[in-house]
A and B are shown apart, each in its own frame.
Chain A
Amino acid sequence: DAGVIQSPRHEVTEMGQEVTLRCKPISGHNSLFWYRQTMMRGLELLIYFNNNVPIDDSGMPEDRFSAKMPNASFSTLKIQPSEPRDSAVYFCASSLRDSSGNTIYFGEGSWLTVV
């Protein structure tokens, strides 16, 4: 079974450029999460969606960050303009929202370097 698929796996970009990270959740899952991992701050939730609707975006650091989920099988995280402090690993994750302690499954991550 295909897991959560993220692209690109690695990206190096110059400061000021727009960055778009893409995610395909596991088929049938109705919750999608974007996390950021850095040495300084660990794993932080940026935003999550239920049934394609953003539920909590309080973790989005600045207006430079935006996320969309136009349908159940695709989401994007965009940074415009990018800055060196945005360098991090960005994880997309998905789960089936129910009441039984459902597992959140993670993608392999997008490793972003802004120079």
Chain B
Amino acid sequence: AQSVTQLGSHVSVSEGALVLLRCNYSSSVPPYLFWYVQYPNQGLQLLLKYTTGATLVKGINGFEAEFKKSETSFHLTKPSAHMSDAAEYFCAVRQPGANNLFFGTGTRLTVIP
């Protein structure tokens, strides 16, 4: 069985501050991990993903995430928040060989001017 837990359904940061969105997973085997972003009234867009290799993954819009197997975590960070980062962010997990993605419940990021 696999699952994803996103701590904090809402996160607020000031413009220019560090963004940290937390994701922990549960999986019987090392999974593939994904972060998606959803802007208002739009579909989901891939930010970044981890499959194998380097555990620090860089994505679009200055975001990055680090796979930490010992902590079963895949937290998303960005050094400096921009107003345009306001959106909902979803962490997702997939087992190798499987086809489906299991999503977390999402974290809504608000950026305060």
Which A residues form the contact surface with B (CB < 8 A)?
Answer: 4, 31, 33, 42-43, 45, 48, 50, 55-56, 91, 93, 95, 97, 99-101, 103-109, 111
Contacts and interface: CB of A to CB of B under 8 A. Distances in A.
Contact of A43 (B41, B51, B90): B90
A48 B101 CA distance: 11
Interface residues of B, number: 25
B100 interface: yes
Contacts of A109: 42-43
Interface stretch (B10-18, B68-76, B78-86, B91-99): B91-99
B5 interface: no
A112 B65 CA distance: 34
Given A42-B105, A42-B106, A106-B44, A101 B94 contact: yes
A55 B52 CA distance: 26
B44 A91 contact: yes
B43 A108 contact: yes
Nearest to A92: B43
B9 to A, nearest CB: 10
Q: Which 3 A-B pairs have the closest CB atoms?
A: A101-B51, A101-B32, A106-B43
B6 to A, nearest CB: 10
Contacts of A31: 99
